[in-house]
Structure formats: C-alpha cells, structure tokens
Amino acid sequence: MTESVFLQQLGLIVAGAAVCVLAARRFKLPSIIAYLVAGLILGPWTNLVEVTGSLDLISEAGIVLLLFLVGLELRLDKIKGVGKVVALAGLVQVLATLAAGFLLCRALGLGATESAFLALALTFSSTVVAVKLLEETQQFDSLHGRIAVGILLFQDLVVIVLLTLLGGFQPESQLRWETAGQSVGLALVKMMALVAAVLAVSRYALPQPFAWMARLPSGLFIWSLCWCFFVVAAAHGLHLSRETGAFLAGVSLAQLPYDHDLRRRVRPLMDFFIAVFFVSLGARMDPGAAAGEWELALTLALFALAGKFAVVMFTLARLKVGERTSQFVALTLAQISEFSFILTAAAVRSGWVEDKVLDLVGLIGLLTFSVSACFIIHNKAVYFWSRRLGLLKPFLARRHDAMGSRPRRPHQHIIVVGMNTLGRAIVSRLQSRGEQVLAVDTDPHKLAGLPCETLLGDVECFPVLEEAGLPHAKLLVSALRIEPTNDLLAYRCQQAGIPCSIQAVDLTTTDNLLEMDVKYLMIPKVDGIKLQNRELRERGFLSA
C-alpha cells in the first residue's frame, strides 16, 4: 500500500510539473516557477500530495545532481580572459548585496538570524534560470554570457563554502564561540583535504579509465555517476554536506575532454529529480502565511531585482566593461537562486529559522524569476529603452583627466579589432609610427599591456562600434579569423564611409568582401609568399 501511494504521488508530481511547464513555456517563464506553482496546486491548495520521506530522498538526489552539473560547468577556459573581471565583480556583488540585504531586513523589523539567512537568499542568482535562458536566446557564448556564467560559478563556490560552514554550527542556546570556531575550522580543514584528494585522483587516476570508457558512451555516463556518488559518500563520511561532494566531483570531471557529453547526458536525469525537488518544495509552502507578508516579500523582491542590478552594473562599469555588456550581465543576475531555497531549507532543518522564512523565500523566488526571465529574454529592448531615457548614466564611470573632461574616444584614429598575434603586431607597428590606435577585443587578458587605448567589447554589437568612435575613425583593421564577424564589420564600415582592412582566411569570401568596398585584404598565405619571393630576389636567388 505504501509503495502504491508513493508511486501515485510521484505520478501526480510528474504530471503536474509537465502541465505547468507547458503553461509556463507559453508565457516564456522559467521551469522553476512552473514546478513551484505545481507544488502549490498539488499541496496546500488541493492536498493531493503529501511530502514523504521517499519524496525527500528523490529531492536530495536532485540537489546532488544539480551541484554535480554545476561543477561540470566549471571549466577554466569558459572564464578564460574574464577571470579578473569575474572575481572582482563577483566578490563586490556578494559582499555588497549581503550587507545591504541584512541591513534592509533589520530595518524591516526582522531578527538577526532571519535577516542573515534572508540576506544570503537574496545574494545569490540562479544558475539554472540564467544558463537555460542564455542558451535558449543563443547568448551563452557572448561576452556578457561568459561574464555572467563566471560570476554565477563564483557564487556557487561561495554557496559550497557556506554549506560547509552551516554544518559546523549548531543553533544551541549554550553554544560557545570557541566550540563553534573549532567546528568550522575542522570543517574547512576536512573540505580542503577532500578538495586536494579529489583533484589529485582526477588528475592522475581518472584520465585513463575514462579514456577507456569513452568508447562506450553509456558506460562513461555510469562511470561519471559512480564517481559523483563516491565523492558524495566521502564527503558524508567526513561530515561535510552532500552538495560539497557533488560539486567537487563535477569540477574534477569538468577538466576532462568528455565534459560536454557528460553534461548532455546528466541534464535530463537532473531535470527529473529537480522537478520533484521544487514541486515538493512548493507542496511544503504555506501560501497563507506568505501572503500575510506580501509587503515584505515585494520589498525584498524589489531589492533583489534593483539592488543586484545596480551593484553589478556599477562594478562592471568601473572595471571598464562596456555599458551594453554591463547591463546585460546585470539583467541576467537579477533574481534569487535555487540555492536560496537549498540554504534556507537547510537552515529550517537545522532549526535556525522557522518555516515561514522558507515560505517567504518561495514567494520572492516566484516574483524575481518571473520578472528577470522577461528581462533576459528582452534584454536588447530593455537596453535601448533605458539608454534612450538616460537611465544608465548614474551607473557609468566618468572619464576625465586633470585638465577637465575630454571626448570618450579620439577622432581620426585607427581601430584594430582582434588581439591575436597579427592584431598585436599591427597595433605595435601603427603605434610606433605615431598613429592614434584603439584596440578592441572580448578578452581583457589580450588587451593587457598594449601601448594604446583599449576597449573591451563584442564588435558584433553596434553600440560597441559607436563607443569605439567608428564614424570618426580614419581606418578599421580586423585581424579576426571569424568570417561572419568580418563580413559584418565590412558592412558597418561601408555604411559609415570608413575604409577598412580585413583578414581573409577563406579565399572564397574575397569577392563578397570586395563588393563591400574593403580597401585591403590581408591574406596570410599570399602575403607570406610575396614576402618570401621578395627576400629571394634581394638575395639573388630569383630573377627580377
């Protein structure tokens, strides 16, 4: 009978989640909202589902797989070139939002413990919502997508540390700070030992077995899950959180060349367990208690949307990231996180806060997920609207020198796009001849150390070319080896009446570029042959 009831309730959860996801897709809302609404319908509104220990077990498996998948996203090359920007922006955002959120909660009359956990819930942004919408809108590999994903991964690292710290404290009335400090210190030592052990095994022991299993994709998938739950068991044995072990297992496998295939195979399984987790979470919520706090929930949701947007926008602008990219990143991070629920639920289980705090976080999640999803999907329209109304000016860094204000970009300058070997050589040659040069690239690491003015941005976005002063330039040079981008640059230069020089990698594209009035085509193979022939003639090996 018990098994029959469990299967019946699990079936209701899956069916309810499927129907609500279909409705949410109609309005382009994240699936997490659909799952929470499904939980509210099946739980407190109809009492069709009662959360049992078996459902809790499935929910915990979903959290383990979610952290495993997040760890699989942590490839160093994903945030290569934007690491400094990500670290500084992520650190400032976490500290500023945490402090401001705590003070706001205290000002609203909440207790210190409730304020602390609510501030944590407001600090983090949703990796699931942001990554899913970035992928759906084909913005995942853009500059703002890479920066946003990097900051999200930084936040996830902070969450892992907090989960470890949470296990080191116990909310006992007679808890002494000395005992608590020893518990936290011991937890951190265990965590560092686990990190060292996992990374050592993944570097020296895992590559060969996984290379063998790569010939059998299904076997590779099973091996990855085996490794995941092995590390989870090791973390549990060290009295660390299961989430910590799952995340470390994912990070260790992310550095292997099979991470893309593993993510693709793990995601459907994770989606099922996560659906059960959030539907169960919604079924536990008490909408009546949360509705009594709607003013508080609305205030905190507004803080999560506007406060995080302001902090991220202000910080990125001062790190010399373009205004368009800064706003897109800020819009992507303007919501609370699925980890907000996980942390709050852990705090409820440990007795730190009451159930009403989890209900409040659920209501905030519904509000912020809905609004931020619209912002991410329509970020271009939001950008042009806010730019037209001048709403971005308070966030942007003012550029001036000791003599007063000066133009943002020089006139009669040369714009060089793409700081690869060829681009950097062109910049050095032009600069040595006394030309005013502006170097543009999406990678701040490549812009570092150049003897000219630089601009971080994606030239496929027209506002970046506007900021580079394209209408006032005397030449644009593209050293890029990306044909669609070069075609677009040639078109932009033709429209602006600015001569351009483009690197042509594929000879079949030369006719198209010449039709767009490109003044000079840089063809490495042809130019190399010409240089070689000239050297041979000068040395007398070839007749003139």
Q: What is the 3-state secondary structure of 387-453?
A: HHCCCCHHHCCCCEECCEECCCCCCCCEEEECCCHHHHHHHHHHHHCCCCEEEEECCHHHHCCCCCE
| Structure confidence at residue 507 (pLDDT) | 62
Measured in whole angstroms, the distance separating CA 371 from the mean position of its chain's CA atoms is: 18
pLDDT in tens, 30-58: 777 788 888 888 888 888 887 777 777 77
| Structure confidence at residue 438 (pLDDT) | 93
How far from 214 is each of 112, 185, 208, 247, 522, CA to CA, in Å? 51, 40, 10, 22, 41
| Structure confidence at residue 3 (pLDDT) | 66
Residues of the chain with pLDDT under 50: 1, 172-178, 398-409
Task: Please give the Cα distance from 270 to 280 (Å, whole number).
Answer: 15
With H, G, I as helix, E, B as strand and everything else as coil, classify residue 500.
strand
Q: Are residues 448 and 133 in contact, defined by beta-carbon separation less than 8 angstroms?
A: no
| Structure confidence at residue 173 (pLDDT) | 41
**With b meaning 16 or more CB within 10 Å and e meaning fewer, what string describes 514-542?**
eebebeebbbeeeeeeeeeeeeeeeeeee
| Structure confidence at residue 100 (pLDDT) | 93
User: Which residues of the chain are in CATH 1.20.1530.20 domains?
Assistant: 51-388
| Structure confidence at residue 122 (pLDDT) | 93
Q: What do you get for the CA distance between the two ends of the chain, in Å?
A: 97
In DSSP terms, 404 is beta-bridged to 401
**With b meaning 16 or more CB within 10 Å and e meaning fewer, what string describes 392-414?**
beebeeeeeeeeeeeeebeeebb
Element of type H or E holding 478: strand 475-478
Picking from 501, 498, 434, the residue whose alpha carbon sits closest to that of residue 465 is 498
| Structure confidence at residue 193 (pLDDT) | 86
In DSSP terms, 415 is beta-bridged to 438, 476
pLDDT in tens, 208-222: 887 777 666 677 778
User: Which residues of the chain are in CATH 3.40.50.720 domains?
Assistant: 407-538
| Structure confidence at residue 36 (pLDDT) | 80
In DSSP terms, 486 is beta-bridged to none
Count of other CB atoms within 10 angstroms of residue 45: 13
Picking from 38, 29, 235, 69, the residue whose alpha carbon sits closest to that of residue 152 is 69
Say whether domain 51-388 belongs to CATH 1.20.1530.20. Answer: yes
| Structure confidence at residue 299 (pLDDT) | 92
**407-538: which CATH architecture?**
3-Layer(aba) Sandwich (3.40)
Task: Please give the Cα distance from 52 to 48 (Å, whole number).
Answer: 13
Full-model pTM: 0.64
